[in-house]
Amino acid sequence: MTEQAKSPAINFIAAIIAADVSTGKHGGRVATRFPPEPNGYLHIGHAKSICLNFGLARDFDGTCNLRFDDTNPIKEEQEYIDSIMEDVRWLGFDWEERLYFASDYFEQFYEFALLLIRKDLAYVDSLSADEIREYRGTLTRPGRDSPYRARGVEENLDLFQRMKAGEFPDGTHVLRAKIDMGSGNLNMRDPVMYRIMHTSHHRTGDAWCIYPMYDFAHGQSDSIEGITHSICTLEFEDHRPLYDWFIEALELSCHPQQIEFARLNLTHTIMSKRKLVRLVAEGHVNGWDDPRMPTISGLRRRGYTPASIRDFCDRIGLAKKESMVDMALLEHCLREDLNKNAPRVMAVLRPLKVVLENYPAGQTEELDAVNNPGDPGAGSRKVPFGRELYIERDDFMEEPPRKFFRLAPGREVRLRYGYFITCTGVTRDEATGEILELRCTYDPETRGGNAPDNRRVKATLHWVSADHSCPAEVRLYSHLFTKENPAAVEEGEDFTGSINPESLEILMDCRVEPSLAAARPEAIYQFERLGYFCADRHDCREGKLVFNRSVSLRDTWARLQKKA
């Protein structure tokens, strides 16, 4: 149901897979996986990878596993596992029974290590971390062999087993692959396979005090799971020869093909986990799911739909070129989804009272309002109308400029689904001069919004009844950063320097039409003429309505004003 009859996106990875399928590689089978480390929340960049991996599995009639690469116990927590699973599911993907953890393979990795030692392809090094770094050489100078490189197989076996038994403190020994200290690829200069860490693991507890490095776990995990295509980001390109080396040295039967693609960058936000952590920790935002965050949970709370995010991931394409996608595309995808699906409703964010002088005091009527002009099936609802109303402050100007079509003294406009009204005067605060309310007259002949004499008005305003509308809090969000690329900072500057001080504006005195009184958390509406708003999933409840602006409507009037 969520999958349209859309033809699968053809990208270079799909092309490679299609070729492999046609030549019968891996028996024509396709198996992918999404392999996060549970050390943070997922963001829109991960969504790209999730859509890619699960999408490829879907398009090629294959499978996609969810595997947690949990090889570093000091960084990982159950909280992250839970949030990641929730986010993947929310995005609309299903790993069925294929939930795996690299930590489930620890015993097997240990056996792999023993095998490499026996083949004299791995050794225990007793250099300190600093010494290892020094022996590694530099980008332009080759490394030197460790003095421990020549240890015999038996001694290595003994030492490694004692490492596992907990006989040595952290940092005293590591297990290294014996490859080539002179390689131009630093990853091949005898990479560390195991380190000693007397730390309990969130899943294996205290069963282990040695933990495999990611590089010694990732490729083999894929192989164990029968992954055919290991899709990852560009920075692992240099690691591919190492993964290949391990799999060949271990003589594993399944040799997944690694393919790298460029990770997603979005304008006006950041994607680095380290920086996102800082935004949360330093209080620049209110948590991982703050609606300004590019996290999946943040986008969700902002009002983004899974379908809009999937559509976005389909549209950005896939390549090896590092790129920066315009946030406007993400917003476009949301608008497109919501324009089609969100019910329309009227809400006034900055209320200005209107009194209809010729409307009978005490009278109330119910007017018909269409729920979605683009979708007849969405039906209609009743909206109460009375003598006193609120309209948007922005919709009135005492001295309107040339192109301002809305209400002004002496001018007639239409109230949506209501009547034509004409402004006859303003009442203001004697002291401050501030406009307190508008005095208007209405034309009873225009009920519903059409004049029998066919006279036209240049504007249609949204409104709510003063007596019947509900109070609401509305949170207006905009870009978290003023700079297109906040990560590109000048020397001595910090990315937090370009945080947008106006990324959140809270409006406490809004009025919404009564049909919103029971808005359920996460319900999304179009507030007519304003934008799409979603009931906050944490703070909105009956009696205390809170809406987040997901994205504004395109606003040509605002653009005209900006130009002037």
Partner RNA sequence: UGGGGCGUCGUCAAGCGGUAAGACACAGGAUUUUGGUUCCUGCAUUCGGAGGUUCGAAUCCUCCCGCCCCAGCCA
| Interaction residues for RNA, span 479-508 (CB under 7 A) | none
The two structure tokens encoding residue 139: 């980008």
Q: If binding is defined by CB under 7 A, does position 187 make contact with RNA?
A: yes
Neighbours of 24 (CB within 10 A): 9
**How buried is residue 200: exposed, middle or buried, by Cβ count under 10 Å (0-12/13-18/19+)?**
middle
Q: Contacts with RNA: how many residues (CB under 7 A)?
A: 88
Residue from the set 50, 285, 307, 316 that interacts with RNA by CB under 7 A:
316
170 interacts with RNA by CB under 7 A: yes
Residue 416 as a binder of RNA (CB under 7 A): the answer is: yes
- Inter-axis angle of helices 327-341 and 306-315, to 10 degrees? 130
CB of 346 to RNA, least distance (A): 9
155 three-class SS: helix
CB atoms within 10 A of CB 263: 16
Interaction residues for RNA, span 440-469 (CB under 7 A): 448-450, 459-460
Phi, psi angle pair for 130, to nearest 5°: -65, -40
Query: Whole-number minimum distance, CB 558 to RNA, in Å?
Result: 8
Q: Is 317 exposed, middle or buried (0-12, 13-18, 19+ CB in 10 A)?
A: middle
One character per residue 192-211, x = contact with RNA (rule: CB under 7 A): x--xx--------------x
Q: Which residues, including other chains, have CB under 8 Å from residue 443's CB and lie 6 or more apart?
A: 412, 419, 420, 421, 422, 451
Q: Is 321 an interacting residue with respect to RNA (CB under 7 A)?
A: yes
Instruction: Considering only residues 137 through 166, tell me which ones interact with RNA, judged by CB under 7 A.
Output: 138-140
Classify residue 115 as exposed, middle or buried by CB count within 10 Å of its CB (0-12, 13-18, 19+): middle
Instruction: Examine residue 80 and tell whether it contacts RNA (CB under 7 A).
Output: no
Tell the residue number behind the tokens 């304008």, with chain if given.
267
Q: Looking at 98, 136, 144, 263, which residue is catalytic?
A: 263
Q: Which residues contact 497 (CB under 8 A, 6 or more apart)?
A: 489
Q: 282 in helix, strand or coil?
A: coil
Q: Which of 299, 313, 406, 298 is nearest to 352 (CA)?
A: 406
Q: Tell me, yes or no, if 37 is annotated catalytic.
A: yes
Q: At what angle do helices 306-315 and 44-59 cross, to 10 degrees?
A: 80
Q: Does 557 bind RNA (CB under 7 A)?
A: yes
Q: What's the min distance (Å) between Cβ of 284 and RNA?
A: 22
Interaction between residue 18 and RNA (CB under 7 A): no
| Residue 384 interacting with RNA (CB under 7 A) | no
Binding residue for RNA (CB under 7 A) from 286, 341, 372, 422? 372
**Residue 212: strand pairing partners:** 194
Question: Would you count residue 323 as binding RNA (CB under 7 A)?
Answer: yes
Residue type, 113: A
Mutual orientation of helices 153-165 and 106-118 as an angle, nearest 10°?
160
Query: Residue with structure tokens 């040799």?
Result: 255
Is 273 a catalytic site residue? Answer: yes
Contact 78, 43 (CB under 8 A): no
Q: 27-56: which residues touch RNA (CB under 7 A)?
A: 37
Nearer to RNA, 477 or 537 (CB): 477
Q: Which of 393, 403, 455, 538 binds RNA (CB under 7 A)?
A: 403
By CB under 7 A, residue 559 contacts RNA? yes
Instruction: Candidates 151, 292, 344, 387: give the one binding RNA (CB under 7 A).
Output: 344
Has 365 been annotated as catalytic?
no
Active-site residue, selected from the candidate residues 273, 350, 353, 382: 273
Question: Minimum Å distance from CB 407 to RNA?
Answer: 10
* Cβ closest to RNA, residue 331 vs residue 536: 331
Alpha-carbon distance of 322 to 239, in angstroms, equals 18
User: What residue type is assigned to position 131 of the chain?
Assistant: E
Binders in 510-539 for RNA, by CB under 7 A: 526, 528-529
Of 32, 72, 146, 308, the residue at the interface with RNA (CB under 7 A) is 72
Interaction of residue 75 with RNA, rule CB under 7 A: yes
Q: Is 238 in the site for RNA (CB under 7 A)?
A: yes
Minimum distance between the CB of residue 512 and RNA, rounded to whole angstroms?
15
Asked if 319 is part of the footprint of RNA (rule: CB under 7 A), the reply reads yes
Q: Per CB under 7 A, which of residues 111..140 are in contact with RNA? A: 127-129, 132-133, 136, 138-140
Distance, in Å, from the CA atom of 203 to the CA atom of 253, rounded to the nearest integer, reads 28
Q: How far is the CB of 91 from RNA (least distance, A)?
A: 19
CB of 49 to RNA, least distance (A): 12
Q: At what angle do helices 44-59 and 12-22 cross, to 10 degrees?
A: 30
Active site amino acids: 37, 263, 273
